[in-house]
């Protein structure tokens, strides 16, 4: 199972929200590069970097932070938040992203997202499936759609999508454990995707349970920043 720490960006700073609420923001570090280097020093190779300003603005805002981290670490960065146009995706790749996560774009402009899958390949494009009560959320989790998560993922599986990041918004930032039932349901119905679990990881035991559930990767955010899981403890999963 891949261990993928998350850095969420607002105003160029490393922050965490609670359940996607921009009014419940906590700043953990003024310098995201310092945080990224600490992950790299611990032997971690991947990073989930989210431009929360971009998600709200519907265009990339923190490209310079992406560039700094990509230029000064060897981390393989998957970047999301505000990637809404051909210009945005070019900016992200030009600034050092190895993969792009598309969530809102996959809902609001599926034709363009499908073009990206064909143009960049399924190793480069990740489907973001952010859910609340199994319904897809967009626009930085500000809008809840009627799309249900399993049919949504299945529709892109038919387009060749391999990687899916699924975040249960109700679990995000509250340190109450991940949505194991949700991930098991998705993998039961769509067993041949690389499902990356996001939201709620609180302990090493959570990681063991996710691994046993068969997820491809686990994104960890607040648990690291609140010292619930140490970087040293993550080494056994690497």
Give 172-216 pLDDT, tens digit per residue: 766 789 999 999 999 999 999 999 999 889 999 999 999 999 999
Q: Give φ, ψ of 55 to 5 degrees.
A: -60, -40
What burial letters (b/e) apply to 149-174, b meaning 16+ CB within 10 Å?
bbebbeebeeeebbbbbbbbbbbbbe
Q: Cα(49)–Cα(83) distance, rounded to whole angstroms?
A: 12
Q: Cα(205)–Cα(177) distance, rounded to whole angstroms?
A: 9
Q: Cα(215)–Cα(193) distance, rounded to whole angstroms?
A: 9
Give 118-169 pLDDT, tens digit per residue: 999 999 999 999 898 888 877 555 666 678 999 999 999 999 999 999 998 8
205 part of the active site: no
- Range 2-237 has CATH code 2.120.10.30: no
Q: Cα(54)–Cα(75) distance, rounded to whole angstroms?
A: 21
Question: Which residue ranges make up each domain of the chain?
Answer: 2-237
Q: Cα(60)–Cα(81) distance, rounded to whole angstroms?
A: 7
pLDDT at 23: 79
Residue (of 3, 94, 15) closest to 47 by Cα position: 3
21 part of the active site: no
Please give the model's pTM, rounded to 2 decimal places: 0.93
Q: Is the pLDDT of residue 19 over 70?
A: no
53, 78, 130, 168: which one is catalytic? Answer: 130
């Amino acid at each position: 199972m891949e261990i993928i720490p998350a850095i969420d960006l607002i105003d160029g700073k490393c922050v965490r929200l609670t359940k996607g609420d921009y009014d419940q923001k906590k700043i953990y570090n003024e310098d995201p590069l310092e945080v990224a280097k600490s992950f790299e020093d611990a032997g971690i190779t991947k990073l989930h970097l989210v431009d929360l300003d971009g998600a709200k603005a519907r265009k990339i805002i923190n490209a310079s932070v992406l560039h700094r981290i990509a230029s000064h670490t060897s981390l393989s960065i998957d970047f999301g938040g505000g990637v809404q146009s051909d210009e945005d995706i070019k900016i992200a790749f030009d600034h050092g992203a190895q993969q792009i996560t598309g969530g809102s774009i996959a809902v609001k402009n599926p034709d363009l997202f499908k073009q990206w899958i064909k143009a960049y390949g399924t190793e480069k494009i990740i489907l973001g499936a952010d859910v609340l009560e199994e319904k897809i959320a967009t626009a930085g989790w500000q809008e809840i759609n009627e799309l249900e998560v399993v049919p949504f993922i299945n529709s892109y599986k038919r387009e060749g999508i391999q990687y899916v990041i699924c975040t249960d918004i109700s679990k995000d930032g509250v340190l109450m454990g991940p949505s194991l039932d949700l991930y098991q349901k998705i993998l039961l119905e769509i067993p041949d995707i690389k499902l990356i679990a996001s939201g709620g990881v609180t302990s090493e035991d959570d990681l063991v349970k996710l691994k046993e559930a068969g997820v491809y990767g686990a994104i960890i955010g607040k648990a690291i920043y609140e010292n619930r899981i140490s970087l040293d403890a993550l080494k056994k999963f690497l």
